[in-house]
Amino acid sequence: MVDVFVYVTVLNLAVQFVPGVLSETFTLSLLTAVLLKLVLEAVLRAKSWVVGRIRTAPTVLRRIVAVALLVLLLPASKLLVLELVDLVFGDAVRLGGFWSVTGLIVVLMIARFGVRWLLAPQTTAEEIGIGSRTG
């Protein structure tokens, strides 16, 4: 749920400051954020699967094929986002072109990481036994 709110915030900032990004209403921004969350989670799982295949490939040929798949997956994921947004929302939502959606996705991932880092429980040095006096 936190990711969706982060995505809504980033998306609405993009709507305000990036000329090629458009969302006609807040409701459409919220629905777009949910769609982005679903698509990006699926893409991250696919990328993780491919990276796992690269690491565990028994032959060089299979490793090369997995690397090629990863290279194709990176731009294809951006095109998938653009096509799905167009299919679901039509002209009511536009994320710009390939480069603007790439930048948007990078900012979404950075914001997601930052918020998760801020909300994660902080471990102190004493809790993990560093710097504490025993004996």
Domain containing 81 equals 2-118
Distance CA 123, CA 121 (A): 6
Which of 14, 71, 70, 11 is CA-nearest to residue 35? Answer: 11
pLDDT at 20: 83
In a domain, 96, yes or no: yes
Mean pLDDT across the chain, nearest whole number? 84
Domains identified in the chain, total number: 1
pTM over 0.75: no
**129 pLDDT more than 60:** no
Q: How confident is the model at residue 68 (pLDDT cuts 50, 70, 90)?
A: very high
Q: Is residue 25 part of a domain?
A: yes
- Domain assignment present for residue 132? The answer is no
- H or E stretch including 107? helix 98-119
Does pLDDT of 130 surpass 80?
no
Q: Identify whether 135 is part of a domain.
A: no
Could you tell me if residue 28 is inside a domain?
yes
Write down the residue that tokens 């698509």 correspond to.
39
Q: What is the average per-residue pLDDT within 53-60?
A: 89
In a domain, 84, yes or no: yes
Residue 91 lies in a domain: yes
Evaluate if residue 135 carries a pLDDT over 60. Answer: no
User: Could you tell me which of 37, 1, 36, 29 has the C-alpha nearest to residue 13?
Assistant: 29
**Residue 126 has what pLDDT?**
53
Angular region, 91: left φ>0, alpha ψ -120 to 50, beta rest: alpha
